Every structure is written in C-alpha cells, then in structure tokens.
Amino acid sequence: MKALIFGASGQVGRALVATAPERMEVVALGRADCDVTDRNAVTAAIRAARPDLVFNAAAYTAVDKAESEPDRAGMLNAAAPGWIASAARDAGARFVHISTDFVFGGTSGRPYRPDHPTRPLSVYGRTKRDGETAVLDADPDALIVRTAWVHDAAGSNFVRTMLRLMAERDRLDIVADQLGTPTHAPSLARALLALAAKSASGLHHFTDAGVASWYDFAVAIQEEALALGLLERASVIAPIVTADYPTPATRPGCVILDKSATWALLDRPPPHWRATLRTCLNEIARQKVAKNG
C-alpha cells in the first residue's frame, strides 16, 4: 500500500506520516514540495507517486483572515480539493479529504449528522463546504471526514496559543458560549487511516469524545500544564460571551458532530478530549526537556 499525503507539513499531515503503519509506503508532500493550487503540479505529483491512497491535509485554516482573502481561501479549500480528487480518481487511487464543523451554522440544538443541511457562516466555512461538493462531484466514492478544534504539540493551534498567553498574562478572557470538541491530530490521523483501510466513502464525522467550550478547553489546558510544570503560575481565566469578543469571521455557536456511525465503523469511540489533551501536553513537556537538556 502506497499513500500520498498533500499538506504533510501541517499538523494533521505530520500526524498522518507519524501514525501510518510500517507496511505503508508514504510520500509526504508539504507546501514547499507541491503547490496544491497548481492543478498541473497536483496531477504530476500523483502520476509520479502512483499511490493507492491520496490524503488531502492541505487547507486554508486562518478563519478570520479568510474574510479578507476569499479568493485565496477558495482556491485552497474548494478548487484544489476537487482537482486532487479528480487526479486521484484518474490514477485509480482512493481519495480522503478533511473538512470541518464550520460548514454548519451551530443553531440546531442537537448533534449534527453527516447528512444535516450545511449553513456556513464564514468564508472559511463556505469554502470548506464548497470543497466537499467539488470532491464528491469529481469522485463520488471519495471519503470526506469533518472534524473540529484540532490541536497537536507543534504548529499553530489553540493549545499552543493558550500556553503562550498564560505565560505572559495574569488574566485571559475566553469565549464560553461556543461549544465543540477538541481533537488531537494523532487521533484524527488514526481514524483517517482506519476508515481508509475499511474502504469507507462519503461524508463522515470524527472528533475525540466529549464536549467543551473554549473556556472549558482553556481551563483544562492550564490545569494540565501546571501539573506538568509547563506553567509556573496560574492566570485568571474568565468566561465571556461571543458578543464581547468580536472577530472578522462569524463562528457557529454550538456544533457537536454526531460521530455515532463513524465510531461504530471503527469499532470503538476515541478517548475523551481531556485524555488526549494530556497526551498532547506531555509531548510538549518532553520537547521542552529535550530542547533545554
């Protein structure tokens, strides 16, 4: 089995490379290796690799910046996935694409099933929704997995940002009325690989288990980081509402993805988000020791 990973320098791409089984030959292409907005480059990369499986972990993820760069976001999140799906299909490879909970509006009041109508509130959400459409138009047998609140020990994410701000500030105001599920990138990577191995197709949802607000997530980060010695002191973490923290992009209020069908296909639910957060922070602590040692 040979897998080609686009976006291999991002946190999900790196996790896919790290968790791929030993028997799988992996071709990892980061941004510097292949510009996914160049259709010819994408086609050439797939033809050269001759993979059995293609993962697209490349995306425009700067949610607020996308409001002022809709064309760039659309190219990366909508056009490019369709091109990759088409080239993968032509090469006889199965295609796996990663999408987001931002395709929903967050007002349903119950968990969102994969077949629930989408209602994105931002450029980011709209371009990701358009990417799903482009992928399935190009390859109806493709696998699309929506996820949420992805974090890892490296890269740019909420966990890393909170650790930095907690070390710098005595008080942080964190939004408490947006709900979702923090998801460790390696958890997602393992799920993507397992779903691909089972030849899953169509729309699926996957996150770690449990529900949190951004405020809950921040409180947990500080508690775990203090226990690990990643922080020397506690900051005051105050809950605020979305209206008190205006941003260029509108965020969905409550998006809990219904993962029941996906978890059943995988034979088990993943760990709770608090457990995988602890795993993430332990890795950051190990990296800190290695760097200072």
Cβ proximity of 148 and 257 under 8 Å: yes
Catalytic residue among 60, 124, 215, 245: 124
259, two tokens: 């993962």
User: Could you tell me the pTM of the whole model?
Assistant: 0.94
The three-class DSSP label of residue 245 is coil
Class of domain 2-153+182-208+256-271: alpha beta
Q: Give the residue ranges of the chain where pLDDT is below 70.
A: 293
Q: Which amino acid is at 240?
A: I
CB count, 10 Å around CB of 23?
6
| Catalytic residue flag (residue 124) | yes
Q: Domain-by-domain residue ranges, the chain?
A: 2-153+182-208+256-271
Nearest to 275 by CA among 155, 144, 182: 182
pLDDT of residue 291: 75
pLDDT of residue 220: 97
Residues, the chain, total?
Answer: 293
Burial class, 112, CB count within 10 angstroms (exposed 0-12 / middle 13-18 / buried 19+): buried
